[in-house]
Amino acid sequence: MFDPGARKRTVSLTVNGDLYDRARGANLPVSRIAEEAIAAALRQRMAAAIRAGIAKDVAALDRVCAEHGDPALELQEMFALDGGDAV
């Protein structure tokens, strides 16, 4: 997803000033918390993209099966044993 060992870089973020002041006053590791939140958001975004891709592929397979038949069923029939049981 990303290189957790990559070199740290100073960036500029705009956040609620009171929130930042209170977090710093509570001795919270603001940079680490921000990095973890960004990583979590990135994971969620990537997971959603993967789910969307899978849904698209399943829909395409469903269309092919509807039009041409289910290849899995055809293979089961092709390799069926004497009793009709598939391998």
Which of the pair, 85 or 16, is modelled with greater confidence? 16
Question: pLDDT at position 86, please?
Answer: 52
Distance CA 76, CA 87 (A): 7
Give residue-wise pLDDT tens across range 38-85: 999 999 999 999 999 999 999 999 999 999 999 888 888 888 865 555
The domain segmentation of the chain, as residue ranges, is 17-78
Q: Count of alpha carbons within 13 Å of 77, Cβ hemisphere only?
A: 6
Q: 3-class DSSP state for residue 46?
A: helix
Token pair belonging to 45: 């975004």
Torsion of CA 24, 25, 27, 29, to 10 degrees: -10
Q: What is the pTM of this model?
A: 0.70
